[in-house]
Structure 1
Amino acid sequence: MKSKKLPLLLSFFLTFSLTFNVFAAEDTTKVEPEIHGKAAITIDMKTGEIIYAKDIDKQMYPASTTKLLTALLLAENKGKTDMLSYTEGAKSQPEYSLNINLHSIDVGEKMSAENAMDGLLLYSGNDVAYMIAENVGTSAKDFENKMNEEIKKLGLKNTHFITPNGLHDANHYTTAYDLGIIAKTASQNSWVKESMGKLKSTIKTSKGTTFIIENRNKLLGQDGYIGGKTGYTAAAGRCLVAVKEKDGRKILGVVMNSVYDQNDTMVFEDMKKIMDWSYSIKPETLHKKDSVITTKTVKYKPLGFIGPERTIDVPVVIKDDSKYYNNAVNKSELKEEIKLDNITVASLKGNNPIGTLAIKERNASKDYKLYANVPKGTVTKTNLPIYGVAALVVLAAVAVVAFIVKKILDIKRRRRRGKYI
């Protein structure tokens, strides 16, 4: 008997183990991916909601992702056909530069602002960044001030920029969150968006020099990736900003201080992991449909402007599921704000909204309509005695008025008879 039971038990445990593993495999999308980057974030471009978050407020060096802000300032201050002069500051920049790595450029040589934008975002030219800075600003220092003015305008408190190209400086820093806001703002500019979405471009200078450049973002053009910016310094590590559009949604991702491996693949793998997870994860329900959000005590007069005053406890409900992305940032910072209108007896029927519930995250807010949830007939049943007394009073008043009217009419009739006699 024992020998027969043993295979059955083994079969049971094997089946249970396989079933458990299958369910575990199906549930992996709910587990946040592990990446090499020290900090990362994904943001829903439409709502501003943070989906994935890893040390998003930790101070980091941005390297060449800085050039997204340089690009934004170029787009805001110049037109595509404006001509920019190559400057001394540009000429002194190290590789990667058009001047050093592709072809020498003379100080004073010119190129269009459109070409400069492509040289900045596709090739990530360090010299192009300084040429832009010294043509948009009166000097590199003036452009530094413009960058920090823009940072302040965006409400970013953990960012300070020194150089237009992001080469290392201890006082040139940002965070994954702040860089996400900079990148989101820049990518919403049509010219910046167009440029960083190009796979290739041809740049020409006023002396006839031609540069054919390719975008260094390896994800561009694959699986919905429509833009982004790469970056690297020894201090910053490998950095990447990417924008992906899929299934009617647009998500922006930032990875900072990842590994620069031999084949330069890890930062791109990091980005794919957090992007794929962000598209697969579903927001969690904070308040279910028809759940009571709060209770409001309402004073009212059943007879309108006259008669006794009554009170009723009104359950206030939400008629849609309210959702949020469950991550450490949203958990710690999420706030709920309830605003209710003046509630009247008429509004207790629940057909019209009586206020709103605002679910506020760091850079996002959703409003949900609130309704009174008083069971039908409650107000009438509660006030039946008052309504009964009121009805008797009205009937009595009607009877008195009818009696008086009858008397008046009788008097008039008698007077008319007396007149004829």
Structure 2
Amino acid sequence: MKKKNLIKNIALALSLSIFSPLAYAKAEPVNVPKIYAKSAVSIDMDTMEVILDYNSENKMYPASTTKLMTGILLAENKNKTDNLSYTKSAKEQPEYSLNTNVKPISIGETMSADDVMKALLLFSANDASYVIADNVGENVDNFIKMMNDKAKEYGMENTNFVTPNGLHSGEHYTTALDLAILGKKAYENSWVRETMALKKASVKTSAGTIAIMDNRNKLLEKNGNIGGKTGYTTPAGKCLVSIYERDGRRIVGVVLNSIFDSEDSAVFNDTEKIIDASYAAKKSTLIGKDEVVETLPIKYKVFRFFGPEKTIDVPFTSRQNIEYYENDLNKKSIDKKIDVSLLNPWKLDTNVTAAKLTVTEPLTSKSYDLYPGISKSDLVKENLVLYVLAAVATLVILALITFIIAAIKRASRKKRRKRYF
């Protein structure tokens, strides 16, 4: 009896897999692990797909993760060997500056741009940000405009910068999603990427001041971490933008407003949790193979190029599974559009693509071929009675024309005979 039930179950499973093309496995949503941070996100750096989302569009304060943008602008406008002057606005910056935490620096002393970059990204020196702002933008206001212009260029739609170092201001804000974009852009800049990857560095000024500093990113070179930038203010909490590479796959993760615990470990633990979850995440099926994506009314002329216009409902299907990471952000914002602008109803073929489906996610989009569920032969079947009637009408007209021509000819012959007699 048990054997019979087993056979029946196997047969049922086979029938479902063979005859039910829409029966496909559905992955679980990408769950957010328990973290202290109030906002987090991860994205695949190659595909720009959002993998994990946790309040990633909420307005947050970036603190010193801001310095990634400052570093990018330095790299784009100066060479490593250029000398930058230490300025008055740099001298005025509070602690976590070279001037206050390492050794006093006089206004007018110079540093190589490469040393300034190291002080900015490893030690997170607040005064290094103003050295860059004054030397690259000529003044801080110009540099802030450069920062916001670059943010718009990158598509960071919910970001506004008012300082080059991220010290707190209610008007200096961003989102985890925008910072993920910034993290990717920072990694793509070779100078910034190389600097973020340093565990230690020494810097000096023209007066000979030397500082040896450690990278504040405690995760560097652990479990695939290849770079990142820390940040902290009391309103912003502990922040971290981190870049990972495992098995050739790169992911950028952002956590914002984590707690400052006694061991300063929470923000790093939060990051490792979301990164591990992101690498383990599986995609869910948005549209299954051979599933009808949409049925659209398509207009056509009954006789191809002329005649009455009719409409037929055409179902469009995909020949592949269309997948995505199921999270709150993607579910809310994903958009599907079908383009049938080049479709010719009289060339419909179930084995030839007839439309394009574009699936748009928050940071990327992808196109897929769609195939029609009907062919031109279905148009013929749809109008078969009309074609028969048209054919009969055509034959009647041809017969009538033939009759008239024959009658005219007979009349003409009779007329000619009368003339001879």
TM-score, structure 1 length as denominator?
0.79
| Residues 276-319 of structure 1, C-alpha deviations (whole Å, 9 max, x = no match) | 11111112111101111222344556765477877543221111
Note if contact 2:74-2:136 (Cα within 8 Å) is conserved in structure 1. Answer: yes
| Residues 155-210 of structure 1, C-alpha deviations (whole Å, 9 max, x = no match) | 43432222211122232222222222222222222221221122222323223333
Partner of 2:186: 186
The correspondence of residues 263-302 of structure 1 with structure 2, limited to 5 A, is 263-300=263-300
2:39 matches 1:39: yes
Partner of 2:333: 333
| Residues 8-28 of structure 1, C-alpha deviations (whole Å, 9 max, x = no match) | xxxxxxxxxxxxxxxxxxx99
Partner of 2:69: 69
Letter in 2 for 1:262: S
Note if contact 1:37-1:257 (Cα within 8 Å) is conserved in structure 2. Answer: yes
Letter in 2 for 1:336: K
Partner of 1:160: 160
The correspondence of residues 353-372 of structure 1 with structure 2, limited to 5 A, is 353-372=353-372
The correspondence of residues 9-408 of structure 1 with structure 2, limited to 5 A, is 31-300=31-300, 304-305=304-305, 312-345=312-345, 347-374=347-374, 378=378
Note if contact 1:29-1:277 (Cα within 8 Å) is conserved in structure 2. Answer: no
More moved, 112-121 vs 185-194: 185-194
Note if contact 2:29-2:284 (Cα within 8 Å) is conserved in structure 1. Answer: no
**Alpha-carbon distance in structure 2 between the residues aligned to 1:373 and 1:109:** 74
Q: Percent identity?
A: 49
Note if contact 1:148-1:160 (Cα within 8 Å) is conserved in structure 2. Answer: yes
* 1:76 CA displacement: 1.8
Letter in 1 for 2:220: L
Structure 2: any 5+ residue segments left out of the alignment?
Answer: 1-26, 399-421
Cα gap change, 1:391 to 1:81, in 2 (>3 Å): farther
Letter in 2 for 1:281: A
**Alpha-carbon distance in structure 2 between the residues aligned to 1:147 and 1:79:** 19
Cα gap change, 1:198 to 1:308, in 2 (>3 Å): same
Cα gap change, 1:335 to 1:87, in 2 (>3 Å): same
**Alpha-carbon distance in structure 1 between the residues aligned to 2:307 and 2:126:** 80
| Residues 376-410 of structure 1, C-alpha deviations (whole Å, 9 max, x = no match) | 9645666777888999999xx9xxxxxxxxxxxxx
Q: How many equivalent residue pairs?
A: 372
Secondary structure at the counterpart of residue 46 of structure 1: coil
Secondary structure at the counterpart of residue 147 of structure 2: helix
Secondary structure at the counterpart of residue 295 of structure 2: strand
Letter in 1 for 2:192: V
Letter in 2 for 1:198: L
**Alpha-carbon distance in structure 2 between the residues aligned to 1:170 and 1:345:** 57
**Alpha-carbon distance in structure 1 between the residues aligned to 2:278 and 2:387:** 58
**Alpha-carbon distance in structure 1 between the residues aligned to 2:298 and 2:168:** 62
**Alpha-carbon distance in structure 2 between the residues aligned to 1:304 and 1:173:** 59
Secondary structure at the counterpart of residue 122 of structure 1: helix
Cα gap change, 1:61 to 1:312, in 2 (>3 Å): closer
* 1:250 CA displacement: 1.5
Secondary structure at the counterpart of residue 144 of structure 1: helix
**Alpha-carbon distance in structure 2 between the residues aligned to 1:305 and 1:163:** 65
Note if contact 1:347-1:372 (Cα within 8 Å) is conserved in structure 2. Answer: no
| Residues 42-99 of structure 1, C-alpha deviations (whole Å, 9 max, x = no match) | 1221222222122222222211111111111111211222110111222222221222
Letter in 2 for 1:324: Y
Partner of 1:7: none
Letter in 1 for 2:248: G
Cα gap change, 1:81 to 1:282, in 2 (>3 Å): same
* 1:256 CA displacement: 0.8
Note if contact 1:298-1:343 (Cα within 8 Å) is conserved in structure 2. Answer: no
Secondary structure at the counterpart of residue 316 of structure 2: strand
Note if contact 2:29-2:326 (Cα within 8 Å) is conserved in structure 1. Answer: no
Note if contact 1:337-1:357 (Cα within 8 Å) is conserved in structure 2. Answer: yes
Letter in 2 for 1:190: S
Note if contact 1:318-1:368 (Cα within 8 Å) is conserved in structure 2. Answer: yes
* 1:345 CA displacement: 5.0
**Alpha-carbon distance in structure 1 between the residues aligned to 2:316 and 2:58:** 40
Cα gap change, 1:109 to 1:291, in 2 (>3 Å): same
Secondary structure at the counterpart of residue 129 of structure 1: helix
**Alpha-carbon distance in structure 2 between the residues aligned to 1:117 and 1:70:** 9
**Alpha-carbon distance in structure 1 between the residues aligned to 2:88 and 2:218:** 32
**Alpha-carbon distance in structure 2 between the residues aligned to 1:154 and 1:338:** 27
**Alpha-carbon distance in structure 1 between the residues aligned to 2:88 and 2:303:** 84
Note if contact 1:197-1:220 (Cα within 8 Å) is conserved in structure 2. Answer: yes
| Residues 330-384 of structure 1, C-alpha deviations (whole Å, 9 max, x = no match) | 2222211111134335632133322211111222212111111226964566677
Letter in 1 for 2:88: E
**Alpha-carbon distance in structure 2 between the residues aligned to 1:232 and 1:330:** 29
**Alpha-carbon distance in structure 1 between the residues aligned to 2:154 and 2:236:** 23
Note if contact 1:29-1:280 (Cα within 8 Å) is conserved in structure 2. Answer: no
**Alpha-carbon distance in structure 2 between the residues aligned to 1:61 and 1:299:** 53
**Alpha-carbon distance in structure 1 between the residues aligned to 2:144 and 2:284:** 42
CA RMSD of aligned residues (A): 2.9
Which structure has more relative contact order (CA 8 Å, sep 6+)? It is 2
More moved, 157-166 vs 233-242: 157-166
